[in-house]
Amino acid sequence: MKYLCLIYNDENGFDSFPREAVKAAMDGCEQFSATLRKRGQLLAAARLEPTCTATTIRLEGERVSITDGPFAETKEQLGGFYLIEARDLDEAISVASKLPPAVFGCVELRPVME
């Protein structure tokens, strides 16, 4: 099964963490990604640009409405994702719980509809 690991954190909160901790987490992402690739579990992964670069698009009948910024104001923002392959939810939880950026926020784990 495919699972999407959505990584949420307070993108403005990184300034409050020691620089070394942020660097260690980012380096950890590279190592973790390499491990998942070797196991054949990593399908895709990416870090996202800050929410200030987002554009929200809504369709209102035939009219397209475009808004600068994210859909909703929240305490934590979507900062990146991993698309993984796992046997079941338990294995997906095991993988997602080891994602280095989780120490700065949370990981939402969702099965991909087949």
CATH at 39: 3.30.70.1060
106: containing domain: 2-49+76-111
Q: Is residue 42 part of a domain?
A: yes
Q: Is residue 95 part of a domain?
A: yes
As beta bridge partners, residue 59 has 64
Q: Is residue 88 part of a domain?
A: yes
Q: Is residue 97 part of a domain?
A: yes
Of 93, 78, 90, whose CA–CA distance to 46 is shortest? 78
Residue 30 Cα distances to 2, 21, 59, 90, 101, angstroms: 21, 15, 38, 23, 11
Rg (CA), the chain: 16
From first to last of its 114 residues, what are the pLDDT tens digits of the chain? 999 999 998 887 777 778 888 888 888 999 999 999 999 999 999 999 988 888 888 898 999 988 887 666 677 888 899 999 999 999 999 999 999 888 888 999 999 998
Number of compact structural domains in the chain: 1
Q: Is residue 29 part of a domain?
A: yes
Q: Is residue 54 part of a domain?
A: no
Q: Is residue 6 part of a domain?
A: yes
As beta bridge partners, residue 113 has none
d(CA 21, CA 11) in angstroms, rounded, equals: 15
